[in-house]
Amino acid sequence: MPAPRPFSPWWVIAVAPVALGVGWVAGGMPVPGRTTVATYAGGAPSGSAPPSAGAASPASPIETPAPFMQKPAPSGSRTEQIFSEWTSYDDAVRQSRDNGKPVLLDFNADWCGPCRALRREVFEAEAPGTTVMAAAIPVSLVDRIRETGSNTAQLDELQRRFAVEAFPTLVVFSPVTGRAVRLVGYAGPDETLRWITESAAALR
């Protein structure tokens, strides 16, 4: 039986670079000078860090934003205010066109007892008042006929437009669509608050 041939170390030296190259590619190791594009569906995979914003491979002069990066909202986009302070009619219409919230008009008079109760029990009470400001943009329109004998031209026009014949009269309307609903009189805090919130939700 012939003696086994001695193992030559030169074969290892000659084959090693080829074997390392095959293992490098098959193992998914990064190759110098090659840009790897990763796609993240709905965010980075669990346990991995997303690529830095604006980072690019030195080998590539073009920067491609990662899919998970959110673009800033364009200026002038519609944003909804959580609470709306009592304001003037013109400002309420402007806000409503900007954020989509309906407007609440409170037609009232200083001499009107139910108007004072409505103001005290709903508009000035902490929880109901906050609910009103969250549902709509509120405006107080005070009739001055008894005190001064006349109203402003704008108030007269609004009273005609919404057929105001008694106080208090509440109107919830959308300047965008022109739709409006009206409530005459004061039925108590609970019923009034329910009407305001439901009417405002229906007109959004």
Q: What are phi and psi of 124, to 5 degrees?
A: -95, -10
pLDDT digits (tens, 9 = 90+) for 76-104: 434 445 899 999 999 999 999 999 999 99
> How high is the pLDDT of residue 32?
40
> How high is the pLDDT of residue 13?
52
Q: Are strands 103-109 and 169-173 parallel, antiparallel or unpaired?
A: antiparallel
pLDDT at residue 33 above 60?
no
Mean predicted confidence (pLDDT) in 122-145: 98
Q: What is the mean pLDDT of the chain?
A: 74
Please name the amino acid found at residue 79.
T
Query: How many Å apart are CA 42 and CA 61, to the nearest integer?
Result: 26
pLDDT at residue 57 above 60?
no
Q: 86: closest CA among 136, 50, 42?
A: 136
Q: 57: closest CA among 91, 77, 80, 34?
A: 34
Residue 40 confidence class, pLDDT cut points 50, 70, 90: very low
Strand partners, 169: 107, 184
Residue 149: exposure state from Cβ atoms within 10 A (0-12, 13-18, ≥19): exposed
> How high is the pLDDT of residue 5?
56
DSSP string, 51-78: PPTT---TT-------TTPPPPPPTT--
The better pLDDT of the pair 35, 196 is held by 196
* Least confident piece of the model among 31-35, 66-70, 164-168, 189-193: 66-70
Residue 9 confidence class, pLDDT cut points 50, 70, 90: low
pLDDT at residue 22 above 50?
no
> How high is the pLDDT of residue 72?
34
pLDDT at residue 113 above 70?
yes
Residue 4 confidence class, pLDDT cut points 50, 70, 90: low
CATH numbers and ranges of domains, the chain:
89-202 (3.40.30.10)
Q: Are the C-beta atoms of residues 78 and 100 closer than 8 Å to each other? A: yes
pLDDT digits (tens, 9 = 90+) for 135-186: 999 999 999 999 999 999 999 999 999 999 999 999 999 999 999 999 999 9
